């Protein structure tokens, strides 16, 4: 089945008992056991719940995985994945990735002697050079948040296999509609489903997909033991959001291309980070491993442009955290999504003060461009 159809019919397609076309919300914590050792496959909803299970089967089908697991947030999902490792292990991470992922490694797991090393994962030689016997995994985002660096998933997975370590890909920015990391040899995919998969800025959720039985058993054990599970109602909402992913992503893709090109023509803008530009260093790799460039653009305003005034002058585009919703959202990474990364590291990787991240929604692109034009006009009033 093609992915557009799988988004709608994958996982558990409707309710067998009643014929309802949507999976019901099984809002229950426990299940009646007719006798000792007898149950219908469910005992307690932390361990399994039919609505959550339908979502987990769906995301596993979409990513081409062995099994999927749903968590209360992207960070709960990432925390579960890092819980696979032991004291003394080290994880290599991309040099600009979601601030919360850096924070949980730096402020939580480091205290348990699970270490990380920041490297430029776009450079496969840098990865090779940094693998010693303590390194047990490489965690990449591609494109990265917020600078849209592209890492060659197949290249990383090849190195990981040679060294018998795991490749973990945060696929939040692409979704399985645009990119399926397991097809390129990754072992684990994580999502902040809060973003494109949910798509409507109305829920917080995380997903993990694994490519084999051994990882699946470990992940389910961690999910059940640590308990950061997604509730039945949010599982239902996420299934509902996923059904329209294909049409939303197509519009995100086309709108974003237009807006990236518009931003590039503006004299107030110093640099635009968008992997859909043919002169982006990762363009060819992106074309090889994904079927679109996604809905996020970051750009640096010129030093003489008041970035606060620019952001506050936007009317249609909402100023706020998050991305991937139907509405356009703008954020200031240095003080918001990436504020937990120390100043020196931010400067080093390029998350500078006048960097703006734009998550392009599915509105009419002309309206979004007009809003940006108005904001540029406002900041020029100062001149």
Ligand X SMILES: *Cc1c(COP(=O)(O)O)cnc(C)c1O
Q: Which residues are catalytic?
A: 46, 98, 170, 195
Q: Residue 168's beta-bridge partner residues?
A: 139, 188
Task: Rank residues 208 and 314 by Cβ distance to ligand X and give the closer one.
Answer: 208
Structure tokens at 79: 């925390």
| 116 lies in the binding site for ligand X (CB under 6 A) | no
Q: What is the SS3 assignment for 251?
A: helix
Task: Rank residues 131 and 168 by Cβ distance to ligand X and give the closer one.
Answer: 168
Q: How far is the CB of 193 from ligand X (least distance, A)?
A: 7
Residues numbered 227-256 forming contacts with ligand X, rule: CB under 6 A: none
Task: Rank residues 23 and 205 by Cβ distance to ligand X and give the closer one.
Answer: 205
């060294």: which residue's tokens? 163
Which 8-state DSSP code applies to residue 345? Answer: H
Task: Rank residues 52 and 305 by Cβ distance to ligand X and give the closer one.
Answer: 52
Q: How far is the CB of 311 from ligand X (least distance, A)?
A: 19
Choose, by CB under 6 A, the member of 96, 151, 172, 365 that binds ligand X. Answer: 172
Q: How far is the CB of 278 from ligand X (least distance, A)?
A: 25
DSSP secondary structure letters along 339-362: TTS-HHHHHHHT--TTEEEEE--S
Q: Which stretch binds ligand X (CB under 6 A): 68-76, 83-91, 146-154, 223-231?
A: 68-76
Question: What does the alpha-carbon distance between residue 336 and residue 322 come to, in Å, rounded to a whole number?
Answer: 10
330 in Cβ contact with 299 (< 8 Å)? no
Question: What does the alpha-carbon distance between residue 197 and residue 180 come to, in Å, rounded to a whole number?
Answer: 14
Choose, by CB under 6 A, the member of 149, 152, 170, 234 that binds ligand X. Answer: 170
Q: How far is the CB of 370 from ligand X (least distance, A)?
A: 27
Choose, by CB under 6 A, the member of 51, 94, 96, 192 that binds ligand X. Answer: 192
Residues numbered 320-349 forming contacts with ligand X, rule: CB under 6 A: none
Residues numbered 22-41 forming contacts with ligand X, rule: CB under 6 A: none
Structure tokens at 309: 């005034």
Q: Which stretch binds ligand X (CB under 6 A): 46-54, 70-78, 251-259, 271-279?
A: 70-78
Distances (CA, A) of 333 to 22, 202, 214: 38, 21, 37
**Residue 366, C-beta contacts closer than 8 angstroms, at least 6 positions apart:** none
Position with the least CB separation from ligand X: 74
Burial 182-196 (b: 16+ CB within 10 A, else e): bebbbbbbbbbbbbb
The strand pair at 90-94 and 135-141 is best described as parallel
| 206 lies in the binding site for ligand X (CB under 6 A) | yes
Q: How many residues bind ligand X (CB under 6 A)?
A: 15
60 in Cβ contact with 68 (< 8 Å)? yes
Q: How far is the CB of 119 from ligand X (least distance, A)?
A: 18
The helix or strand, by DSSP H or E, that contains position 96, with its residue range, turns out to be none
| 294 lies in the binding site for ligand X (CB under 6 A) | no
Structure tokens at 119: 């490297």
The helix or strand, by DSSP H or E, that contains position 79, with its residue range, turns out to be helix 74-82
Residues numbered 72-111 forming contacts with ligand X, rule: CB under 6 A: 73-75, 98, 100-101
**Can you give the binding site for ligand X, defined by CB under 6 A?**
73-75, 98, 100-101, 141, 145, 170, 172, 192, 194-195, 204, 206
């Amino acid at each position: 089945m093609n992915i557009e159809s799988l988004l709608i019919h994958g996982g558990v397609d409707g309710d067998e008992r009643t014929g309802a076309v949507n999976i019901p919300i099984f809002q229950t914590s426990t299940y009646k056991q007719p006798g000792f050792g007898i149950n219908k496959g469910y005992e307690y909803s932390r361990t399994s719940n039919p609505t959550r299970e339908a979502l987990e089967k769906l995301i596993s089908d979409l990513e081409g995985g062995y099994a999927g697991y749903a968590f209360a947030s992207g960070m709960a999902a990432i925390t579960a994945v890092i819980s696979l490792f032991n004291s003394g292990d080290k994880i290599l991470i991309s040099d600009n990735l979601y601030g919360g992922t850096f924070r949980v490694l730096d402020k939580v797991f480091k205290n348990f002697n699970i270490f990380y090393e920041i490297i430029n994962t776009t450079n496969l030689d840098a990865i090779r050079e940094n693998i010693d016997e303590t390194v047990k995994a490489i965690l990449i985002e591609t494109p990265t948040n917020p600078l849209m660096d592209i890492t060659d998933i197949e290249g990383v997975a090849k190195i990981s296999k040679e060294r018998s370590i795991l490749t973990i890909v945060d696929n939040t920015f692409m979704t399985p509609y645009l990119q399926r990391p397991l097809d390129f040899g990754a072992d684990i995919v994580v999502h902040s489903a809060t973003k494109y998969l949910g798509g409507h800025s109305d829920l917080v959720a995380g997903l993990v997909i694994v490519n084999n039985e051994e990882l699946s058993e470990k992940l389910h054990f961690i999910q059940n033991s640590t308990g950061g599970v997604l509730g039945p109602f949010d599982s239902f909402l996420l299934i509902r959001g996923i059904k329209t992913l294909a049409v939303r992503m197509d519009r995100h893709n086309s709108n974003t291309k237009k807006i990236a090109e518009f931003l590039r023509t503006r004299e107030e803008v110093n640099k635009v980070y968008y992997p859909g530009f043919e002169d982006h260093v990762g363009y060819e790799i992106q074309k090889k491993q994904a079927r679109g460039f996604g809905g996020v653009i970051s750009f640096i305003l010129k030093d003489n442009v008041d970035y606060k005034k620019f952001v506050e002058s936007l009317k249609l585009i909402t100023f706020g955290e998050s991305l991937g919703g139907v509405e356009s959202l703008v954020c200031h990474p240095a003080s918001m999504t990436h504020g937990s990364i120390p100043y020196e590291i931010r400067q080093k990787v390029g998350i500078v003060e006048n960097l703006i991240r734009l998550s392009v929604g599915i509105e009419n692109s002309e309206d979004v461009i007009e809003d940006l034009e108005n904001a540029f006009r406002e900041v020029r009033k100062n001149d």
